[in-house]
Amino acid sequence: MKNALKFIVFVFTLVTCIFLYFNFTIITLNNDYLVSYGRGLEKKFDKLESIDTNKIVIVGGSNVNFGIDSDLMEVSLGVPVVNMGFHAGLNTFNIISPVTPFLTEGDILIISKEFNDELYGASVEVSNYFQFMPLKARWETYKNFDAIAPILKCHINNSQNNIINFDFKPQNTYKPGTYQAKAFKNDNLKKNVIDFEMNTGTYSKIKAKKLDPPSNIELFKYYQNLKTNLNERGIKVYFSIPAIADSRFSKEEMITYYQTLSDKTGIQLLSKNILSFPREKLSNTLYHLNATGRKERSLNLTNDLSQILNIKLKKINELFYASSTKINATPLKLNDFRQCKLIDSQLVFVNNNKKDKQNYCRVMLKDTNTTFNDKSFKIVVKGNDSLIKDLKFKAVGRPQDWDFIYKDDSKHVLIKNNVQGTIYKNGNNYIGISLNNINKYHNDSIKIIKIEISETPFTSKPIIELGLNKSLAIDSQNSNNELIIKNGEIFTPYELIQNRKYILTNQSKEIRITNLYSGNTKAIKKNSSNPKVNIQFPADVIEVYDLK
């Protein structure tokens, strides 16, 4: 008995020491751990665990992470959708198996893996992603030696390198660009971090290759067993062909690849639609779509699913922010730059160099210790309507479209929320506007009325109340406060839960509010003498979809 107790104590002590060793050498000595792209897995699993109703879960590498907008899909379908895509380097087993314990009867799993036959494997870059998985997910990998062996090898390599390069200093709290923790809104990458086009140089490096059908017997057996296991649990599974650059593989080869995979494994191919994208709809690699490409692919997949589920899709009439939050404007000053002159708030565009068709005016923040990243920008201008329509938002990289443009009397309001990519120069932080077609507007001008920077997104219009006509979908984001449903003189509060979707429908005799993730529905009887219904939103910023 004593020997058994000693053995248990020894094993417990050994495991604890190993855990503490890796925790110190891999996490503590990693300066980017707190802001790591890998932290996106935490938000993805948080959403996956939060859903109590039947759901659609999409797994794959970064083609799914960059190519699926689950917000758009679940609002259109009226069914929760979770984007569990991440990194193809995790390989098939480690992309799919950690997700399966969270699936329940009635769920649908969509597999959209990149074109490779690897079942197991890892790299130094991706092995640490497992630090961000819940134990329930990691256990699926830990109990499979073939899966965990390459990850442990990479962990050991990381550990040794970090000890050799010992640099014990405070971890970073901010990291710019697409590959950062703040790039994620729940399970999706934020639209603004992928709202750019692939440059021609990167696109030219994507060479055409021959794509052979899959032949990995071990992979086939894994998929066969996966299908059997999921079907026994009442879960359906489908393949979906991944999105990719149009210059890589032929459409015939891609269909043959996935049809072979389907035939060998018994997993149905959802559709033979091939979504190969041109440069204008890609972002930074052959598998990464930008915001425009992602929307197109998501709507295509939504349509495929609606046919299988026999669901009539809802169309989004408008998406806007609703908030009564007071904007915390930061003092800004204009800095005229390249082919424009600013005098007494009048900005004149002058094409001094006819070969240069771009013109920039930047706005400089006074506080050089603060960045514009994850803040929101608004500029109010007055002038030529045609010129103002050609103005773009400008930070780093290509000029971007504004989130909202609307007219307020004779003034134009231009809004760009959740700004990413600040230009740093001499300690200053810059963002601003860009005007293309400078030849067309030589000597034209606009008047700058107001410029604001805010910690919270600006609204497309100052909405505190919104009339409920047919139906609305509400994304509560960071809100834990109340909606107020106003029907005539009757005020009914409804408590929102953070990061949930709600569907509100205006029916003939009642207003119905459904929590999409729990399935809970509340019915509020309408005042027959006054059918008008208004929704008053809480002070937190939330997204509202007006549905047709």
Domains of the chain are: 42-122+167-313 (3.40.50.1110), 318-323+463-547 (no CATH), 332-454 (2.60.120)
pTM of the model: 0.87
| Integer Cα distance of 493 and 182 in angstroms | 32
Q: Lowest-pLDDT range, 111-125, 296-310, 313-327, 376-390?
A: 313-327
> Cβ(459)–Cβ(534) under 8 Å?
no
Helix (H, G, I), strand (E, B) or coil at 465: strand
Range among 138-147, 190-199, 297-306, 461-470 rated most confident: 297-306
Phi, psi of 108 (to 5 degrees): -125, 130
Structure tokens at 528: 């027959």
pLDDT over 80 at 364, yes or no: no
For 427, which DSSP code? T
DSSP string across 160-214: HHHHHT----PPPS---SSSSGGGEETTEE-GGGG-SPPPHHHHHT------PPP
Strands (E), 390-458: 391-394, 404-408, 411-416, 423-425, 428-435, 445-454
| Integer Cα distance of 497 and 514 in angstroms | 12
**Residue closest to 324 by CA, chosen among 547, 546, 544, 542:** 542
Range among 16-25, 351-360, 449-458 rated most confident: 16-25
Mean pLDDT of the chain: 87
Range among 15-24, 196-205, 348-357, 371-380 rated most confident: 196-205
Mean pLDDT computed over 132-152? 91
Structure tokens at 470: 């047919």
Phi, psi of 85 (to 5 degrees): -75, 150
Beta bridge partners of 458: none
> Cβ(434)–Cβ(392) under 8 Å?
yes
pLDDT over 60 at 524, yes or no: yes
**Would you place residue 370 in the very low, low, confident or very high pLDDT band (cuts 50, 70, 90)?**
low
pLDDT over 60 at 327, yes or no: no
pLDDT over 80 at 35, yes or no: yes
pLDDT over 80 at 270, yes or no: yes
pLDDT over 80 at 470, yes or no: yes
Burial of 462 (0-12, 13-18, 19+ CB in 10 A): exposed
pLDDT over 70 at 421, yes or no: no
End-to-end alpha carbon distance in the chain: 71
pLDDT over 90 at 354, yes or no: no
pLDDT of 243 reads: 95
pLDDT of 145 reads: 92
Q: Lowest-pLDDT range, 340-354, 433-447, 482-496?
A: 340-354
**Would you place residue 32 in the very low, low, confident or very high pLDDT band (cuts 50, 70, 90)?**
confident
